[in-house]
Structure 1
Amino acid sequence: MLHCPRTFARTIALSSLFLATVVSPALAADPTGDWKVADGVAIIRVAQCNGNMWGAVSWEKTPGGTDKNNPDQAKQTRPTLGMPILIEMKKKPGVDAWEGQVYNAKDGQHYSSTIKPVGTDQLEIQGCVLGFLCGGETWTRVGPPIPVSAAGNPAANPAAKGAAPKSTAAAPKTTGTAAPKSAQKQGANASAADIGDICLLPEIAHPTPTR
């Protein structure tokens, strides 16, 4: 029987461990799903839309809220339910974090922001004004991760490029709930089930540049 030298056998074992690590990459943290904000007054649904992460209000403790603090008077009557909060968050290379903007309905302002999953049940939100005066909070997961839908991923659905889906009934849902029925439905009488696939919300499907 042939016997391998101890150092040679150890080299083979270490090489096998290295190959196993490369072949089986670690699962990246997933920021998608439903998250309850720190003070518990709202739940934010986060999903991947058009290659970026977006978050919109899917539930509010006090129904019928409006964006009354928005400096744009035309938006002061829009419902807070279904309103985008996390805006076009882009993946940071090499880390499980996404950068973009966060909308603060309390003062009607947009801030540079980073979101970072902590484990599987927490999401850290950091926002800064002009690169300083940074603050943040931690959200708690209340819903499972959301698969990418064809509506939110034009690469998987070429027909969606450059145009909104013609029929929300036929579009795949990220959450398994109903898609938005109408802009008016997202008011005081709307529920989380009416929000459905946030990628179909008009402000996310056709975003306008923020200030």
Structure 2
Amino acid sequence: MTIRSAVLAAGLAVGFAAALAAPTASAAGGIKGFWRTGDGRSVIEILDCTTGICGRIAGLPPDAPATDVNNPDESKHSKPLCKLVMLHSFTQSSDTEWEDGTIYDPKSGKTYDATMTLTGPDTLDLRGYVGISLFGRTDTWTRQQPGSFKACS
């Protein structure tokens, strides 16, 4: 083995070892925590719930309605949006993917099937859809640290 090939082999070995040691998106922070929605206006806290992974509203913009006025169930119109659980029943399907959940959109009052994919330690793609994932929309959320946003009271 020449010196050049030995150096190349050593470099490849170090690079391979570093790749193996690098944390996956899941290990770097997981899905739990606070996430700012793609429009930058709201913050959602993702956590464990009795039915799987869920998410509740943790921060709202000042101009947001205080209650769930667009809910199709009129008896829920007076329910506060702050701390409203809007992500329901996600199950983990891989290190970076969660499926079989639903997302409630308080702006429209509609509920959609949804999946979530960690695309990096601080980015989350949430896809809401009707029927099949092909007919949907993906919103990219960014991780937020506690105290970096005005929390719901």
TM bin, normalised by shorter chain, reads 0.7 to 0.9
Cα deviation, 1:23-51, whole Å, max 9, x if unaligned, reads: x7954511111111111221101112237
For each residue in 1:99-127, what CA deviation from the matched residue of structure 2 results, as whole angstroms up to 9, or x when unmatched?
Answer: 20011112111111001111111110101
1:3-14 alignment runs, 5 A limit: none
Question: How many residues in Structure 1 have an aligned counterpart in Structure 2?
Answer: 129
Cα RMSD (Å) of the superposition?
2.6
State the partner residue of 1:141: 143
**What is the percent sequence identity of the aligned residues?**
28
Q: Which runs of 5+ in 2 are unaligned?
A: 1-12
* 1:95 to 1:70, Cα distance in 2 relative to 1, 3 A: same
Shift in CA distance, 119/126, structure 1 to aligned 2, threshold 3 Å? same
Q: Distance in 2 between matches of 1:193 and 1:72?
A: 23
TM-score, normalised to structure 1, is 0.54
Structure 1 spans left out of the alignment, 5+ residues = 1-13, 145-174, 176-190, 195-211
Q: Following superposition, which runs of at least 4 residues in structure 1 exceed 3 angstroms of deviation?
A: 24-28
Name whichever structure is richer in strand by fraction. Answer: 2
Partners in 2 of 1:193 and 1:109 — Cα distance?
22
1:1-211 → structure 2 map (5 Å cutoff): 27=24, 29=26, 30-50=30-50, 52-62=52-62, 65-92=66-93, 94-99=94-99, 100-131=101-132, 132-143=134-145, 192=151, 194=153
Q: Is the 8 A contact 1:40 1:61 kept in 2?
A: no
Contact 2:25 2:118 in 1 (8 A): no
| TM-score where L is the length of structure 2 | 0.72
